Amino acid sequence: MNIPEKTIERLSEYRRTLLSCHEQGITHIFSHVLAGIHGITAVQVRRDLMLIGFSSDTKKGYDVEVLIDFISGILDNRSVVNIGVIGMGHLGQALTKYFNGRRSKLRIIAAFDVDPQKAGHEIDHIPCYPMERFEETVEQLDIKIVILSPPTAVASELVVPIINAGIKGVLNFTSMPLNFPRGIFVENYDITTLLEKVAYFVKEAEES
Ligand SMILES: NC(=O)c1ccc[n+]([C@@H]2O[C@H](COP(=O)([O-])OP(=O)(O)OC[C@H]3O[C@@H](n4cnc5c(N)ncnc54)[C@H](O)[C@@H]3O)[C@@H](O)[C@H]2O)c1
């Protein structure tokens, strides 16, 4: 199924909202309510769900549990996907603490660092390996995705080891946008770019 990146992002956001509805005991939700929560139109929600083949809109709205399962069937792998963190500093540790346990099919299982105080030890229940053991550990532990949170200055040095290790997806938090060959999906996430974008639209709103 060829689903645009933006639709995948929205599906993940819808699921987060639906899970929270489910926890509150809400069993059905209308497309315009889901749309309102996400600041988009009901047409967009219906278009996204039609694209993935979901069409069971009843008089009561979408069945929350059924829709969670349907979106999970699209987003999730059948088995758990193992994730490694490169650079177990402030951000690496914060991400690991925040994320683990939130999604049953995605699990941070290892960290990698050059600092001898960290490598060879467990940090927040995650074993931290030295970078020299990166490739062999990725293979042994079947790690498919890495989160990159080392200093920006070393980010580009990590591209070749990541390719050689057979990693399939990279979430890059450093300030250096990275490119990988086809077959490796990369998402560059930079807080400065995002804040500048917000600041730009605040400025535009103030000036208009
Ligand atoms: N995208 C964002 O929103 C965002 C927010 C904060 C920080 N950052 C970026 O995240 C990165 C980490 O920030 P931090 O505050 O956690 O820094 P930090 O100094 O606390 O952590 C960096 C870690 O990387 C390790 N490291 C150094 N060289 C390495 C290498 N070659 N291979 C593997 N590990 C290595 C260090 O030993 C350290 O543990 C920086 O690039 C920073 O710019 C991004």
pLDDT in tens, 41-61: 999 999 999 999 998 767 889
- 111 and 150 part of one domain: yes
pLDDT interval class at 151 (50, 70, 90): very high
Mean pLDDT to the nearest integer, 61-87: 94
Q: Which of 165-175 are b and which e, b meaning 16 or more Cβ less than 10 Å from the residue's Cβ?
A: bebebbbbbbe
Mean pLDDT to the nearest integer, 137-152: 98
pLDDT interval class at 6 (50, 70, 90): very high
Stretch (H or E) spanning 67: helix 64-75
Annotated binding site for NAD(+): 87-92
Query: Does residue 21 line the site of ligand 1, with CB under 6 A?
Result: no
Query: Does residue 90 line the site of ligand 1, with CB under 6 A?
Result: yes
Torsion of CA 158, 195, 99, 4, to 10 degrees: -80
206 within some domain: no
CA–CA distance, 162 with 185 (Å, rounded to integer): 12
Q: Using the atom order of ligand 1, give the atom closest to the CA of residue 150.
A: 24
- 116 and 185 part of one domain: yes
Cα–ligand 1 centroid distance for 115 (angstroms): 12
pLDDT interval class at 168 (50, 70, 90): very high
- 86 and 65 part of one domain: no
> Could you write out the DSSP letters of every residue in 136-167?
HHHHHHTEEEEEE-S-GGGGGGGHHHHHHHT-
Query: Does residue 121 line the site of ligand 1, with CB under 6 A?
Result: no
pLDDT in tens, 15-45: 999 999 999 999 999 999 999 999 999 999 9
Cα–ligand 1 centroid distance for 90 (angstroms): 7
Torsion of CA 4, 10, 15, 20, to 10 degrees: 170
Query: Does residue 137 line the site of ligand 1, with CB under 6 A?
Result: no
Strand duo 81-86 + 143-148: pairing? parallel
For residue 24, the domain's CATH number is 1.10.10.10
Domain coverage including residue 36: 5-74
The answer to whether ipTM exceeds 0.95 is yes
Query: What is the per-residue pLDDT for 30?
Result: 94
Mean pLDDT to the nearest integer, 76-92: 95
Q: Is 29 helix (H, G, I), strand (E, B) or coil?
A: strand
44 within some domain: yes
Mean pLDDT to the nearest integer, 126-155: 97
In the DSSP assignment, the letter for residue 16 is: H
Cα–ligand 1 centroid distance for 16 (angstroms): 28
Contact 168, 183 (CB under 8 A): yes
Strand duo 106-113 + 81-86: pairing? parallel
Query: What is the per-residue pLDDT for 59?
Result: 84
Mean pLDDT to the nearest integer, 56-82: 90
In the DSSP assignment, the letter for residue 131 is: G
* Pocket mutation for ligand 1, best pick of 91, 121, 137, 148 (most atoms within 8 Å of C-beta): 91
Query: Does residue 132 line the site of ligand 1, with CB under 6 A?
Result: no
- 115 and 135 part of one domain: yes
- 37 and 106 part of one domain: no
Q: Using the atom order of ligand 1, give the atom closest to the CA of residue 157.
A: 31
Query: Does residue 171 line the site of ligand 1, with CB under 6 A?
Result: no
207 within some domain: no
